[in-house]
Chains A and B, each alone.
Chain A
Amino acid sequence: MALKHVSGRLTDSLLLGLVLRLVLILLLVLGGVIWVVDRTLEQAGDRAQDELLRRQSAELLAGLVFRGGGVRVELPNDVAAAYFRRDSGYVYSVYDDKGKVLAESNPMASTWLSPSMALYPAVATMLDTRERDGAERALYMLVQPVDTPRNNKIFVVVGQYRTIDDVLMNAARVALMRDLLLLIGPLFLLAVLAVTGLTRSALGPLRALSREVAAVGSKLRMDGVARIEGRNIPREIRPVVNAFNDVLVELGRSLSAQQALTADTAHQLKTPLAVMQARLEQLADFKGKADVLRDVHRMDRLVRQLLHFAVLSQNSATLKVTDLTPVVREVVGSMVPLARKQRIELRFDAPDRAVNVWLDELQVGEAIVNLVDNAIRHSPKDSIVEVVVTKVGSIEVRDRGAGIPPHEQGLVFNRFWQGPAGEPSKSGAGTGSGLGLALVAEIMRQHGGNATVTSRNGGGSVFELEFRRG
């Protein structure tokens, strides 16, 4: 009995699962590293900006001149020039504790710096318009409270737009990150390969074990005993292997008991039949002797088929990719004398090229014997039984017997089916055991193939055995 194999999705692979998890961890770590590097670079940019603002503020504070009650800004020429350059991005303004603008770098400066004009901070305070304008177009400001000689408070505000340099700096950051990713890509692939390789080798003992387990069934059937030796079995699955071995011992015991029973039964049933046949043959001819001999043969066939059923249920087919043609030709050849005795011409035909299919030679031989025997018994004298191997990997047995009505064609492979119901038995009908075709169907089932019957143009049936291509 061939049990259905456990099927599974591709993603059920242990190897795949482990590799995917490890790769996920790898991705998270890499992502983390990239994020941290990027953040650090960005913060470095921000800190540089702050430092620049502080220097600008210090320059300006150095240029404050208090005269009388007023205040003026006197800057060194080069610094002043920087404020006049259109694209420098530097502005300043000075206002008092009432919000009145005392000085500014250009007539619009105090308007640009207006967010800071609402602040009257006690200590130096940074602020920017990043939220409103985005990092690229934002104005960065520093408000510095200053005490005048007359103990009034004024506020010096300096501001910078991001200069071309800053934008370039940012582009450099992006380029750096891109280079980093380009470098990391191949590194990541290498890491994935390494992870896969390592996982594979770690799972090696498991694969070896699975190969050994796969072979254990046929070894058990051949030798009656089998166990998993499995060197280097991981500690985690040793209990499974031990339990499996215990089951194997039990199985081996019951299998050999069953096989012994089958062999005993065969001997006990067949020997009296042999005696009966020998006794009959030694007797002088009497009326009905041929009939009694035929009965002995029929009994023999029944016993043989029953036993074969028993054997089939103990062993399943051992399939190998084999050329169908020589196998079928040999069996058909061995049945020619039987066919000639019944005055049936047995013919064989096959393609010139090999027809490779999955088969168990001995079992298929038995199936063909049953089919041809069936065809010979149901064919009228002097007719032809053809056995044909087809290019697509099937065997056809064509006879010119009475045929099987379409509504019964699904039943012929059932056990003990005995020909069309309610019809008078023809020449060969009724001499079968009703087991032969069931045996054929069981053998084909173990081959993962199919046995079917169809009616033939001009009378008779075509039995077809389909195999899996090798």
Chain B
Amino acid sequence: MRILVIEDEKSLAGFIEQTLRQHGFAASVAGTLREARELLKMPFDAVISDRRLPDGDGLDLVRELRAAGNGVPILMLTALGLPKERVIGLEAGADDYLPKPFSLFELLARVKALLRRSSGPAGMILEAGNVKLDTLHETVMVAGKTAAFGKREVVLLRHLLQRAGQVVGKDVLEQALYGESKPESRNALEVAVHRLRKLLVGAKANVALVTIRGIGYLLEEQK
């Protein structure tokens, strides 16, 4: 996996490059937009870009890439991190944004999430703790053993794993399970979540399915 880091602050670029390498990614660093354009003649799997660069705005590069039909996942690093800036960034075609300062672990997690999302329908392995889900074959492995999960539980688990560590709204999960048709009862989702939780506990998974009252559910690794 090749990742391009566009950041003019050398020490920050260095830390990012080092972290990526430690986790098995190949990283290249560009300090200016001109260098970045040069490097982007080669294919990359993801781009991490600062906005304010010596020779221009990183968002302009994003717009150029999108206009040229390049769909490479892009994570923007923003200084202000105000909501308006985030919206402008996403509208320009960036896939995610991370306000400065950030934790290198979070940066890594976001890059992985971007790569997962972009790997498309070819199928991928989603994982959290000792739980793995093969999205192509819809099979679940817990602690190295195949677990027999129903179709509904797999759908639920897939959505929760995709956003592991974050809250997934009830409406999102209901939409995933029942589409536009009405669920059979008001607490249908609760029942389905309860069943999934029992299955996870039964298979000795080290993840917890937490209810966030009034909002939705969250899957997190247990320490």
B67 to chain A, nearest CB (A): 21
- A266-B80, A279-B11 known; A271-B100 Cβ under 8 A: yes
Interface pair B83/A336, CB less than 8 Å apart: no
Interface pair B83/A304, CB less than 8 Å apart: no
Interface pair B220/A340, CB less than 8 Å apart: yes
A selection of 16 A-B contacts at a CB cut-off of 8 Å is A266-B79, A277-B101, A277-B102, A277-B103, A281-B15, A300-B101, A308-B82, A311-B84, A329-B169, A333-B166, A333-B167, A340-B218, A347-B214, A349-B213, A363-B83, A366-B83
Contacts of A279 in B (CB 8 A): 11, 15
Contacts of A61 in B (CB 8 A): none
Number of interface residues of B (CB under 8 A): 36
Chain A, residues 236-276, CB within 8 Å of chain B (1/0): the string is 00000000000000000000000000111011011101111
B216 on the A face (CB < 8 A): yes
How far, in angstroms, from A274 to B9 measured CA to CA in the complex? 10
A362 on the B face (CB < 8 A): yes
A278 on the B face (CB < 8 A): yes
A395 on the B face (CB < 8 A): no
Q: For chain B residues 81-99, which have a beta carbon within 8 Å of chain A?
A: 81-84, 87, 99
A73 to chain B, nearest CB (A): 112
Contacts of A278 in B (CB 8 A): 11-12, 15-16, 19, 101, 104
How far, in angstroms, from A345 to B211 measured CA to CA in the complex? 10
In the complex, the chain B residue whose C-beta lies closest to that of A366 is: B83
How far, in angstroms, from A337 to B81 measured CA to CA in the complex? 18
In the complex, the chain B residue whose C-beta lies closest to that of A347 is: B213
How far, in angstroms, from A348 to B214 measured CA to CA in the complex? 5
Hey, which bits of chain B sit against chain A, CB under 8 A?
Answer: 9, 11-12, 15-16, 18-19, 51-52, 77, 79-84, 87, 99-105, 165-167, 169, 210, 212-216, 218, 220
CB-contact partner of A362 in B52, B81, B84, B213, under 8 A: B84
Q: Is the interface of B mostly helix, strand, loop or mixed?
A: mixed
A372 on the B face (CB < 8 A): no
Interface pair A307/B80, CB less than 8 Å apart: yes
Q: For chain A residues 19-56, which have a beta carbon within 8 Å of chain B?
A: none
A142 on the B face (CB < 8 A): no
- A266-B80, A277-B103, A336-B218 known; A282-B212 Cβ under 8 A: no
9 closest residue pairs by CB, A with B: A348-B214, A362-B83, A278-B15, A274-B101, A333-B167, A270-B100, A274-B100, A273-B101, A267-B79
How far, in angstroms, from A19 to B101 measured CA to CA in the complex? 63
Q: For chain A residues 359-388, which have a beta carbon within 8 Å of chain B?
A: 361-363, 365-366, 387
How far, in angstroms, from A365 to B165 measured CA to CA in the complex? 21
In the complex, the chain A residue whose C-beta lies closest to that of B15 is: A278
Contacts of A206 in B (CB 8 A): none
Contacts of B12 in A (CB 8 A): 271, 274-275, 278
Contacts of A340 in B (CB 8 A): 210, 218, 220
Hey, which bits of chain A sit against chain B, CB under 8 A?
Answer: 262-264, 266-267, 269-271, 273-279, 281-282, 296, 300, 304, 307-308, 311, 329-330, 332-334, 336-337, 340, 345-350, 361-363, 365-366, 387
Told that A267-B52, A281-B104, A304-B80 touch, could you supply 16 new A-B pairs with CB distance under 8 A?
A264-B52, A269-B79, A274-B101, A276-B101, A277-B102, A277-B103, A278-B12, A278-B104, A307-B80, A311-B84, A329-B215, A336-B167, A336-B212, A347-B212, A362-B87, A365-B83
In the complex, the chain A residue whose C-beta lies closest to that of B168 is: A333
Contacts of A282 in B (CB 8 A): 15, 18-19, 104
Residue of B77, B82, B87, B99 most packed against chain A (CB within 10 A): B82
How far, in angstroms, from A308 to B103 measured CA to CA in the complex? 22
In the complex, the chain A residue whose C-beta lies closest to that of B57 is: A263
Contacts of A296 in B (CB 8 A): 101
How far, in angstroms, from A182 to B59 measured CA to CA in the complex? 74
In the complex, the chain B residue whose C-beta lies closest to that of A333 is: B167
Contacts of A333 in B (CB 8 A): 166-167, 169, 212, 215-216
Interface pair A329/B100, CB less than 8 Å apart: no
In the complex, the chain A residue whose C-beta lies closest to that of B105 is: A281
B52 to chain A, nearest CB (A): 5
A339 to chain B, nearest CB (A): 9
CB-contact partner of B9 in A269, A271, A366, under 8 A: A271
Contacts of A276 in B (CB 8 A): 101
Contacts of A334 in B (CB 8 A): 166-167
Contacts of B101 in A (CB 8 A): 270, 273-278, 296, 300
- A277-B103, A278-B16 known; A348-B52 Cβ under 8 A: no
- A278-B16, A282-B15, A282-B18 known; A271-B213 Cβ under 8 A: no
In the complex, the chain B residue whose C-beta lies closest to that of A330 is: B169
How far, in angstroms, from A187 to B18 measured CA to CA in the complex? 89
